Structures are given as structure tokens and as C-alpha cells.
Amino acid sequence: MKKPETFKIEWEAREYEHKERSQDWFWAVGIVTLAVAVTAVILGNIIFAILVLTAVFALALFINRLPEIIHASVDEKGVTRGHVRYPYETLDSYWLDTEHPHPKIILKSKKLFMPLIIVPIGKNADAEQLDQSLAKFLKEEFHPLPFVEKVLEYLGF
């Protein structure tokens, strides 16, 4: 049996693209949150109101955090994003989304609770070389960004 060729493509990228938000954005989120919470209380669903207030509070803490620089790599064993390695045996297919303003690799996992894994591609990574390397181990298949991620990007998250 032929031993696979060893290679390693490494790059660094931001965890996500940070967007500066004005005070108006925070006011709008706060007003919508309070409206949803008050409506939930009026309709008798206090637990949902508490859930909404807690979720928005957690979001407000997270939204001001600057993105970390993560180290990513592709080699003959799998794809690594930060400290997590995804072996090719656990992956089904991939898609390089280079048309997006912030390019990324979208990996389809065989795991039920983690269907899509998104790995940002840094400015110093060669997308063509990544495509050739991933094609040796996975099939290329179009994977659109998840609906939730599109909505969050549209809303400015």
C-alpha cells in the first residue's frame, strides 16, 4: 500500500470578523428584547421571557469581545481549527467559499450534532493549494452557509 504524501498547509485567521457597533444598534437590540420579554410575560410565558433576557445579556457580553487569532492547518491526517482536529474519517465533504467577503472552508461532518464546521481562511493561505489538498481526501460538494449564520451576518452579529 502506498504511503500518503506528507504535507502541511498552515495559516492564521480571525475567529470571526469584528464589526464596530454604534450605540443605536445596542438601543435597538435592547428595545426589541424588552418588547419580546414583555410580550412573553403578558402571554404568561415567564420562562421564555427570562430565557430571552439571559440570551441577550450573554450576547451583549460576547459581542464586545475582540476575535481571537486562530491557527488552522490542513495535512494528510485532517483539518485543524484552533485546538480541535477533525480527522478525514469524521468528515464527509468540503466546500471552499472564496466568493464570500471573508473566505472560509465549510466542512460537512458525519456527526449528527455538528453537521457543518466552518474554518476561516486567512489572507496568507493559498485557496487553490487548499482545494487540491482537500480533494485528495474528501469530495468537493457545495455547502451553503447555514441559515442561522446568514441571518446573524445580516443583523450585524
Q: Domain coordinates of the chain in residue numbers?
A: 8-15+66-155, 23-63
Per-residue model confidence (pLDDT) at position 8: 87
Per-residue model confidence (pLDDT) at position 156: 63
Per-residue model confidence (pLDDT) at position 87: 93
E strands within the chain? 8-14, 69-75, 78-81, 84-87, 91-97, 104-109, 116-120, 139-140
Element (H, E) at 73: strand 69-75
Q: Are residues 141 and 93 in contact, defined by beta-carbon separation less than 8 angstroms?
A: yes
Query: Cell 443583523 belongs to which residue?
Result: 155
Confidence of residue 4 (pLDDT cuts 50, 70, 90): low
Of the given ranges (56-60, 92-96, 140-144, 146-150), which has the lowest mean pLDDT? 146-150
What predicted TM-score, i.e. pTM, was given to this entire model? 0.72
Q: For residue 76, with 0-12 CB atoms within 10 Å meaning exposed, 13-18 middle and 19 or more buried, which class applies?
A: middle
pLDDT in tens, 64-123: 788 888 999 999 999 999 999 999 999 999 999 888 778 889 999 988 887 888 898 877
Query: Cell 443605536 belongs to which residue?
Result: 24
What is the rounded average pLDDT of the residues 48-75?
A: 89
